[in-house]
Structure formats: structure tokens, C-alpha cells
Structure 1
Amino acid sequence: MTTVAAATTAMTSTITRVDTIDPSEDTMTSHEAAAYLGKPLWKIGTLRAQGELRAVRRVNTRAMRYRRADLDDYLDRQRRDTSRANPDPLLSMPEAAAYLNVSEREVWRLRERRLVETVKVGRHVRVRRSVLDAYTGLTRKRAAADAADPLLNVAEAAVYMNVPERMVYRLRYAGELAAVRCGRILKFRRSVLEKYLVDRSTPARAA
């Protein structure tokens, strides 16, 4: 009985021991910490009780907060542990959003457009980290391709060729310029416009 009481006292002291910090320190509320870690709010209290997270309080306040550095340390530990257990872990949507540094809504949008493959585990949707790595690699390749051979809208194509916009439309509908449809917008690869100009260039007469 004495042992149980001692253990309970030790746990209580662990839970209630909170450091006081300066207001200038970078900290988060429990709700912000939960969103930052991609976990439900109740999990933050559990992690604090288990000693995984350390709570702090600002001077003259009672609300508990969490240092960003402590949260980052926790995430690093989790990543190391996960990597040892599974080299290609399944990530939740909030974790996938944090991994890609985008909003969670953007991850759902990528799933709806079938740009990333997801796995359904019961009611939970998960994404393999390798799938996200493949997606980011593809986007980097596309970005490099677009930088080297950008897509121009009708107005930009007209400026590039120094013709009116209606001429660009006329050439497109005549099948002389290949266009890419981005939703309702027509765009043209700069290389396509250059090829059209080169094919219709008149060679200079030799001197």
C-alpha cells in the first residue's frame, strides 16, 4: 500500500511540476501544440503525464504552455523511433501535411486528384512516406521543366510572337499550334512557339 501511494505521489508531482518562463519565450498553448504535433488534444495531456512533454507557465498565469523546442525534440525522437521500426512509415494526414510543409487541406486535395496514393486502415487514411517523397521528386522535375520550357497563356504567347491574341487563337484552332488546356485556360509551351517560328523562317540569302 505504501509503495502504491509513493508511486501515485511521484506521478502527481511529475504531472503538476511546471516551470515558470519568461513571456518572450516561443511557446504554444495545448491546442496549438496538439495541432503542431498532429495529435488530438487529450494526447498532449497523456504525453505530459508520461514525461514525454514538459509543460511550462508564463509569469503570473496558470495556463500551461509548451516550448516549441521541446515539441521539435519530441518529433525528432518519434521520427527516429519510427524509422527504426518501419523504414517506410504510414503517416496520418496531419503528419503528411507537416512532412510536405503544406496545409492538411492541400494533402486531401492531392488525394482527391489522385496525385498521391493513400491507404485505408479501417476509418483512418494513411500515406506512405515513400509516396510523398516520390510526389515531391516529381514536382521538382516538373518545376525544372517549367523553368526551362514555361507554359505561356494566350496573351504571353501573343507578346512572344508579336502578333494579336486573335492570331494565336486562329493558329491554335487551325492545328498549327499545339496547346495545353489547364482547366478552362489555354497555354502554350515556349518550345512549341519557337518551333513554329523556326519552321516559318526565311533563310537569309548567302552573300
Structure 2
Amino acid sequence: MSFDLSALSKQAYGSWATGSCTITQLRDAARHLGWTEVPMRSDEPALTALRPQTQAQAHPRSLSATYGLGPQPLHTDGAHLPEPPDWIVLVAAAPNTTPTTLRAVPHADSAVPWHAMLSGIFLVRSGTQPFLAHAATGSRIRYDPGCMTPCDQRARIAAQFLADRTNTHEHGWTQPNQMLLIDNRQALHARHEVSETDATTRVLHRLAFIRKAQ
């Protein structure tokens, strides 16, 4: 089965796109494009298996430690990193009944409070080296309420806007080897509340990439 990651990434730019592939096909295609895999934590490999976890089971710095099996807030992955990844790829080898929530943040949308996003100050917790950052740099966003705390009114405005779930899309995992490619610097995502049937069976494999400079 052929898999064209280049075409899919063009389709996903600014939001997301779906396709079908295996992890091996994904890695081969990403390597061909010059994309670099990025681990989310220094003690983890780049490829991780995301499984529903209770608060007690979860890594202490994860969203699951706060929200458990309930719905997660909208966020971008790797917001705690100095340079968050460009792309997040989720692959489900088997279907499940817990959707992923998605929301694009278009740069040209006048409803987006870009002044607050570009100038509001957040404290970003990143291990033993916290730093200050904005929710946006140019058209590229960074936001995760699990590690980012607003420090001023503009940041609070940005956080309130980014948390809003009014214009979201629910992506269902209905097919084997289904892949979701997310533009991590221009779209937010979150896991829906875990269904009872998925509490012990749902598995999404995640890879994060920084694309080569254009």
C-alpha cells in the first residue's frame, strides 16, 4: 500500500488530515521528507503508546494526572519544549469508540485575539527549567494548560480563547491503521472522555516531528 505523507501534510497544513498507514510506513515516509522525530520527554522514546490512565496511574506531569479518564482540555503537544514539534501523528492499529477533539486556530481569522496570544506572558513548567513564553509566535501557537500558567491579563484572554470548544471537530477512530496528522503549531487537540469499552483497550501510537527547514 502506498502512503504519500508529503501530500497529506500539504492537506493538513493549518489544521489536520486523516489517512491510513502503519508505523513503519509513517517512519519511512517521514525520513524521506527529512522530518526529525522528537520525544515528548527526555526519559521516553519518540514513539509512545497512549493508553487511557487514571490519575493514580498517570505520569505526574501528564494531563492524565489531572483529568484521568475524563475529557482532556484542548492543547498542543510539546508546549513544555523550547521548540515544540511541527507535526503530531496518531495511529490506531484497531478502531476504538473514544474520539479525538480537534480545533484549528486560523491565522487569518479576525475572531482570534492575536494581540493577546502574541503578547500575553505564560509561565511554562519544563522540568527543573521553567521559562516564559507567549501562546503564539507569528502564526504558530503553543498552548497546554497542564504546563502553562497565564501571568497577566492578556495571557488569561488567550487561555480563555484557546480553551473554548465551540468550533471543534470530533474525529472518530473507526478503521484499522487509521492515522491522524495534526499541524501542531496551528491546531489544538484533546482526547474525549474515555468510553467504558475503551478504558483498558484503547491504544494510539504517537510520533512527533520537526520538519526540515523550507
Task: Tell me which protein shows more strand as a share of its residues.
Answer: 2
Based on CA coordinates, which of the two structures has the bigger radius of gyration?
1
Superposition TM-score, scaled by structure 2 size: 0.21
Q: More relative contact order in 1 or in 2 (CA 8 Å, sep 6+)?
A: 2
Superposition TM-score, scaled by structure 1 size: 0.22
Task: Tell me which protein shows more helix as a share of its residues.
Answer: 1
